[in-house]
Amino acid sequence: MDVYSNEPDAKLEPERHSWRRILSIVWLLFIVGLIAYFVVSKRHELSDIGDVLASADRRWIIFAGAIEFLILILMTKTYQTILLSLGHRMPLHSIMTSYLKGLAVGTVVPFGGPAAMIVFIRSLTQLGVPTNDAVFATTLASLSGFASFLVVLSIVLLTLFLTGYLPMIVIVATIVLAVVFLVAASFVAIPLHWKTLPSWISRYLPGWIGRFLVQAHGHHVTVKDLRRPFLFSLGVDLSGAAMLYVALLSVGERTHIVAAFAGYQVEMLFNVITPLFQGIGIADLSITLALNELGVALSEAAGATLVYRLWDLWVPLLAGALIYLFSRGRHSNSG
pLDDT at 2 over 60: no
| pLDDT at residue 153, as a whole number | 80
| pLDDT at residue 275, as a whole number | 55
pLDDT in tens, 127-178: 999 888 888 888 888 888 888 888 888 888 888 777 767 667 667 766 776 7
Residue type, 22: I
| pLDDT at residue 41, as a whole number | 62
Q: What is the rounded average pLDDT of the residues 86-101?
A: 92
Tell me which of 265 and 123 has the higher pLDDT: 123
Question: Among the residues of the chain, which ranges form H helices?
Answer: 13-41, 49-54, 58-85, 92-108, 113-126, 131-163, 168-193, 199-202, 207-217, 227-250, 257-273, 282-293, 298-309, 315-334
Residue 88 near residue 133, CB atoms below 8 Å: yes
Report the distance separating Cα 333 and Cα 335, nearest Å.
5
Highest mean pLDDT among 84-98, 106-120, 140-154, 164-178: 84-98
Select from 303, 237, 234, 289 the least CA-distant residue to 265: 237
What are the contacts of 210-215 at 24+ separation with CB within 8 A? Answer: 211/1, 211/3, 212/3, 212/132, 212/135, 212/136, 215/132
Select from 54, 16, 98, 25 the least CA-distant residue to 303: 54
Residue 116 is classified by DSSP as H
Report the distance separating Cα 185 and Cα 326, nearest Å.
36
| pLDDT at residue 187, as a whole number | 60
* Percent residues over pLDDT 90 in the chain: 25
Average pLDDT score, the chain = 77
Tell me which of 298 and 207 has the higher pLDDT: 298
| pLDDT at residue 305, as a whole number | 92
pLDDT band for position 1 (50/70/90)?
A: very low
Q: What is the rounded average pLDDT of the residues 219-248?
A: 88
Select from 125, 30, 134 the least CA-distant residue to 79: 134
> Lowest-pLDDT range, 73-82, 102-111, 202-211, 292-301?
202-211
Residue 276 is classified by DSSP as S
Angle between helices 227-250 and 298-309 (to 10 degrees): 130
Select from 19, 61, 137 the least CA-distant residue to 310: 61
Using alpha carbons only, how large is the chain's radius of gyration in Å? Answer: 21
Q: What is the rounded average pLDDT of the residues 174-186?
A: 68
What pTM did the predictor assign?
A: 0.78
Q: 147 vs 19, 52, 233, 237, 323, CA distance in Å?
A: 33, 36, 8, 10, 30
